Amino acid sequence: MIKVINVNVRNIYLGMLTVILASFMLVACSTSSSNEISEKNEREKDSLVLAIGSEPTDGFDPTTGWGRYGSPLFQSTLLTLDRHFNVQYDLAVAYEVSPDGLDWTVQIRDDVKFSDGESLTIDDVIFTFETAKNSHSVVDLHNLKKMEKLDSYTVKFTLEKPQSTFLYILTMLGIVPEHAYSEKYNENPIGSGPYKLVQWDKGQQLIVEENPYYYGKKSPFKKLTFLFLSEYSAFLAAKAGQVDIVAVPPHLAKEDISGMKLLALDSVDNRGIMLPFVKPTFDSVKGVEIGHEVTSDVAIRKALNVFINREQLVEDVLEGFGTPAFSVADKLPWWNEETVFEDGNLEEAEKILIDGGWSKNADGIFEKDGVEASFTLVYPANDQTRQSLAIAFKQMVKQIGIDVKTEGKSRSEIEEIMHTTPVLMGWGSHDPIEMYHLYHSEYRGQGYSNANYYENVKVDQYMEQAITATTQEEANQFWKKAQWDGETGFSALGDAPWVWLVNLQHVYFINENLNIGEQKIQPHGHGWPITEFISDWTWEE
Amino acid sequence: MKSTFQMDSQNTIHRKRLLLKIIGLLFFFFIFVLSGFLIGEEQIEANLSEKNLSPSLVHLFGTDWLGRDMFMRTLKGLNLSFQVGLLASSISAVLALTLSLLASKSRLLDYIVTILIDLFLSIPHLVALILIAFVLGGGIKGIVVGIALTHWPTLTRVLRAEIMQIKSAEYVQLSKKLGKSRMWIVKHHFIPHLIPQLFVGFVLLFPHAILHESAITFLGFGLSPEQPAIGIILSESMKYLSTGMWWLVLFPGISLIAMVAIFDALGNNLRKFINRE
């Protein structure tokens, strides 16, 4: 007996040794193994390896914000926005808004199951919204007064105040199962989306498989592996032929990867400069210094907007992988096209400054009442694109006689000074409420929202009307008016509290044989949004 | 007689050679470091029409992704490193001197100083540095204080041993018996004796300080990224290695090593020169 056990133990050691040796061999001839992997992919064509970064540190719980950029992948939402931002049904089969905009009645499908086989009922929907409301996370549901279960597939949401943007919450909030929800849900999501989680090695990889119970159109790819690599390792992995989709920063986009094609997706992932709107003073309510002497002058803000050559910034800094930005929501349905103007205009900008009472001093810098047109532009130190933009901006505006210094700071340092100093920020959401947060006086000094203390009564009014509108068309009309109504607005034509610079393009290399079809204008955040239309992806050799 | 004479002349030749070496090294050092003072903001400005150029006669070290001349940036960076190093090592040296003198005062103080030395030596420099720089909110201040506070223990140890030796010397005992005050003894016996040690120690601290400054800015705990510090240059350049822009890393890296090597050689030669006396 003892002898047998001994032999077994020896066998185990032998086995372990073999495994270790084999793994050495694998490392040693990694090129050949990668070829094997890609050959396998071509043969089966039902699995993909993606290195698109953006590992969600908070996990995959929609009630705390997962899935608000792009699709939640594991869960599904009541409604969705199609490629042209028209509302489509997903879990819902019908929805209705009462004329006063307070009651939203939503009826859902009766044939939906979670990936564990349990049915999805209206209780799960109510549970999801309740959990999200109580989580006090980025999912803003404070306006949701109560929910009523009308029958097992119908719910009535009642709002405190009419809110047209409630619709966008319905398109972003993935439904979680009441029976399988716990503290640990974010690491072990169960949902009704196209995929289910198989394995998540934090910081390394995420493996997902097709959800057999998914009710929507099935993707031809049954298994996806997301690798969480740094930008550069991801790029090298792509060069070695180990991944099918890789996200790359603009400066790597000029490279060639054999067997892969370049894909540049337009986005509203914008970058712009927040300019403090008020004169230097002290906000005694919040207890912070606010305002900036120079940027509180509308002539300066307008001259900067008119003078900056956005096309050139795109060329110089983004290597051409971007588009000029004129607002926070370029090309979205609530964007006012009239706010686009011809930029890079020196004469016009100088005229604005001179009309505004500024004149050039001996150093060639504009001056007014002894104050030089000069400010410090702060950017997050760890973001190289923003650094480059800041430096390019500084050099550009020097030509007109405005003196800008640039400084990189950490996020916490930026939070301390952002009410008194221009900061290079990035926004871009598929929900127009973002404009409300950025430009409504109610949000003055609320964290990063309206950090410049912008205030315009007319703009506030328009945005409130947009919020209380009962149809999307009506709401969008008011959103547009808030930007520019012909006389005033928060765009560069009006008060110009921001200088919007560029919209990034999200750049990917994808396998030549992979076709991912047309994409939506991508929101802020590189990575997950690309998976939104995965059911339409095809593999063609 | 003859042999002593020979030894003497050999000695002088040796010393002359050492002196020559030191002067040569100093010369290099001046070119290297002080030229940075002559470089203004304009020469290291971004120039987007000249980005990603490989090394040429116009741009000896090439240009980076913003079209900044890497040669100028490297020199400026070395200059900055030098200033940080100078300040930090001076503070360190002063700290070391003060603590070693304190240690000579009483048994208890000696005990405390020894414990402090052991304590600081037991933490890896870089870890302590990161902690201190982080607490002070980064920037030049954080780095200087961090380096100053982490580099004094070795020098303190040397000075302390030195003082213990002098303390038991007869002439010091004699001064004591003659009723000279402690301050008088420190001023007339200890300090003159410690100065050479202190100076050599200070110069030898320098390379450490510079390397640690680069290391901490490389890790991103130090300065704003547009500042031309060597560590920042290197960490930025790492990102461009995979696109084949090797010159961004190679030349600044070599320059840093060269500067550190010059300092190290300078320190070692100085020590030899002084110890001969």
Query: Stretch B30-34: mean pLDDT, rounded?
Result: 77
Taking the C-alpha atoms of residue B117 and residue B108, their distance in angstroms, rounded to an integer, is 14
What pLDDT does A43 receive?
53
- Measure B121 CA to nearest chain A CA, in Å: 30
pLDDT at B240 over 60: yes
Helices B139-167/B191-218 angle, 10° precision:
150
CA proximity to A479, closest of A352, A329, A299: A329
Q: Is B113 exposed, middle or buried (0-12, 13-18, 19+ CB in 10 A)?
A: buried
- Model's pTM, two decimal places? 0.80
Residue of B nearest to A230 (CA): B239
Q: Are A350 and A400 in contact (CB under 8 A)?
A: yes
Which of A233, A397, A410 has the highest number of chain B CBs within 10 A, making it the mutation to test binding with B? Answer: A410
- Measure A317 CA to nearest chain B CA, in Å: 8
Q: Are A322 and A250 in contact (CB under 8 A)?
A: yes
Taking the C-alpha atoms of residue A252 and residue A255, their distance in angstroms, rounded to an integer, is 6
Say which of A235, A316, A388 has its CB closest to residue B242.
Answer: A235
Residue of A nearest to B219 (CA): A382
Amino acid identity of A313? L
- Chain A positions in Cβ-Cβ contact with residue B136 (cut-off 8 Å): none
Taking the C-alpha atoms of residue A95 and residue B76, their distance in angstroms, rounded to an integer, is 65
What pLDDT does A394 receive?
92
What pLDDT does B211 receive?
86
CA proximity to B264, closest of B85, B12, B16: B85
- CB proximity A407 to B under 8 Å: yes
CA torsion, ordered B248, B254, B257, B259, to nearest 10 deg: -100
B69 DSSP β-pair partners: B63
- Backbone dihedral angles phi then psi of residue B103, each to the nearest 5 degrees: -60, -30
Which CATH code for domain A62-180?
A: 3.90.76.10
pLDDT at B243 over 60: yes
What pLDDT does B91 receive?
92
Is A408 in contact with B242 (Cβ distance < 8 A)? no
Is A387 in contact with B226 (Cβ distance < 8 A)? yes
A509 DSSP β-pair partners: A246, A262
Say which of A235, A382, A392 has its CB closest to residue B48.
Answer: A392
Domain formed by A270-503, architecture: Roll (3.10)
For residue A376, the surrounding DSSP H or E stretch is strand A374-380
Provide the edge-to-edge strand list for the sheet that holds A366-368.
A359-360, A366-368, A371-372
Mean pLDDT of chain B: 84
Is B66 in contact with A391 (Cβ distance < 8 A)? yes
- Chain B positions in Cβ-Cβ contact with residue A236 (cut-off 8 Å): 242
Q: Which residues contact A406 (CB under 8 A, 6 or more apart)?
A: A376, A377, A378, A379, A387, A390, A391, A393, A394, B226
CATH class of B88-277: mainly alpha
Higher local confidence (pLDDT), A389 or B138: A389
What pLDDT does A4 receive?
43
Decide the pairing of beta strands A374-380 and A403-409.
parallel
pLDDT in tens, B81-116: 888 888 988 999 999 999 998 888 888 999 999 999
Is A251 in contact with B137 (Cβ distance < 8 A)? no
Is B137 in contact with A413 (Cβ distance < 8 A)? yes
Q: Which fold has domain A25-54+195-263+506-539?
A: D-Maltodextrin-Binding Protein; domain 2 (3.40.190)
CA proximity to A14, closest of A22, A2, A4: A22
For residue B263, the surrounding DSSP H or E stretch is helix B247-275
Is B243 in contact with A410 (Cβ distance < 8 A)? no
pLDDT at B226 over 60: yes
Residue found under tokens 């971004």: B46
Taking the C-alpha atoms of residue A516 and residue A510, their distance in angstroms, rounded to an integer, is 9
Every domain of chain B and the residues it spans: 88-277
Going by the DSSP 8-state scheme, the letter that residue A119 receives in this structure is B
CA proximity to A385, closest of A307, A301, A308, A321: A321
- Chain B positions in Cβ-Cβ contact with residue A395 (cut-off 8 Å): 45-46, 48
Residue found under tokens 């409604």: A79
Every domain of chain A and the residues it spans: 25-54+195-263+506-539, 62-180, 270-503
**In B, what residues contact A, Cβ < 8 A?**
45-46, 48, 51, 65-66, 137-138, 220, 224-226, 236, 239-243
Is B243 in contact with A255 (Cβ distance < 8 A)? yes
- Measure A279 CA to nearest chain B CA, in Å: 27
Give the DSSP letter string of A6-55. HHHHHHHHHHHHHHHHHHHHHHHTHHHHHHHHHHHHHHH--EEEEE----
- Chain B positions in Cβ-Cβ contact with residue A410 (cut-off 8 Å): 138
- Chain B positions in Cβ-Cβ contact with residue A235 (cut-off 8 Å): 242
**What count of other Cβ atoms lies within 10 Å of the Cβ of residue A432?**
26
Say which of B137, B138, B243 has its CB closest to residue A252.
Answer: B243
What pLDDT does A526 receive?
62
The C-alpha angle with vertex A246 and arms to A245 and A248, in degrees rounded to 5, equals 150
Q: Which residues contact A350 (CB under 8 A, 6 or more apart)?
A: A303, A400
- Chain B positions in Cβ-Cβ contact with residue A391 (cut-off 8 Å): 46, 66, 226
pLDDT in tens, A403-449: 999 988 888 889 889 999 999 999 988 889 899 999 999 889 888 88
Taking the C-alpha atoms of residue A101 and residue A466, their distance in angstroms, rounded to an integer, is 12
Is B220 in contact with A381 (Cβ distance < 8 A)? yes
pLDDT in tens, A274-304: 999 999 999 888 888 999 999 999 999 999 9
Q: Is B124 exposed, middle or buried (0-12, 13-18, 19+ CB in 10 A)?
A: exposed
Is A413 in contact with B48 (Cβ distance < 8 A)? no
Q: Around B146, how many Cα atoms within 13 Å sit in the side-chain half-sphere?
A: 33
Which of B224, B238, B248 has the highest number of chain A CBs within 10 A, making it the mutation to test binding with A? Answer: B224
pLDDT at B215 over 90: no
Is A408 in contact with B224 (Cβ distance < 8 A)? yes
Is B48 in contact with A395 (Cβ distance < 8 A)? yes
Taking the C-alpha atoms of residue A147 and residue A155, their distance in angstroms, rounded to an integer, is 7
Going by the DSSP 8-state scheme, the letter that residue A94 receives in this structure is E
Count of A-B CB contacts under 8 Å: 44
Spell out, as residue ranges, where chain A has pLDDT lower than 50.
1-10, 19, 21-36, 38-41
Taking the C-alpha atoms of residue A219 and residue A222, their distance in angstroms, rounded to an integer, is 7
Is B239 in contact with A235 (Cβ distance < 8 A)? no
E strands, B19-138, in order: none
